[in-house]
Amino acid sequence: MLTVGDRFPEFNLKAVQPGSQGLDLKTAFVGISSASDAGQWKIVFFWPKDFTFVCPTEIVAFGKLARDFADRDAVVYGVSTDSEFVHLNWRLSHDDLRDLPIPMLADIKKELAQALGVLDRTEGVALRATFIVDPDGIIRFASVNDLSVGRNPAEVLRVLDALQSDELCPCNWNKGEDYLRPAA
């Protein structure tokens, strides 16, 4: 698995656009690549499959924090190995996903999941992996959960705040709190 300090792989995937544009078949799909949103931090999170139980809870939670991530010059990309058509159908049929403010990327060839090392060997789907990528394309945070356990998007936001501070941040540090100051 790629980890902290590694360069995030290049990619070019189809996606369902965020918001109402993603609900209209004429405007639903867009290409998103590693060059998209250049100069911004990227939060890239994977889920195993559409139309499942744990996945929408995580996707909705990331969506609820999309504005907070944007306030920190970060974009959020959600990715699974399902197609953009399956993503669209899921959004249209799941009330909690209907107004999702983040794009849903389709890694149907499983190339990005494989390049990152987050493709489950048994199930052939992406693990619940989360990456924070800095504006230079370097992975600064990597986390993977078991397929049955959802992650905490608020913790991802907290880690982003700590990374962007360029300071020593103690355990459970939150934005606005004191940094660690080593004795001189």
Domain residue ranges of the chain, discontinuous segments joined by +: 12-149
Residue 100 has pLDDT above 90, yes or no: yes
Is position 171 annotated as part of the catalytic site?
Answer: no
pLDDT per position as a tens digit, 19-74: 888 888 889 999 999 999 999 999 999 999 999 999 999 999 999 999 999 999 99
Rg (CA), the chain: 16
Mean pLDDT within 89-105: 95
Spatial distance between the Cα atoms of 96 and 123, rounded to a whole number of angstroms: 26
pLDDT per residue as tens digits for the range 153-164 = 999 999 999 999
d(CA 170, CA 179) in angstroms, rounded, equals 7
H helical segments located in the chain: 54-64, 66-70, 84-93, 111-116, 153-165
Summarize pLDDT for 115-129 with one digit per residue, the tens.
999 999 999 999 999
Q: Give 184's pLDDT tier (boundaries 50, 70, 90).
A: confident
Residue range 12-149 forms a domain whose CATH class is alpha beta
Q: Are 78 and 59 in contact (CB under 8 A)?
A: yes
Catalytic residue among 15, 55, 76, 119: 55
Cα distances (angstroms) measured from residue 34 to each of 31, 53, 96, 133, 161: 10, 29, 28, 11, 22
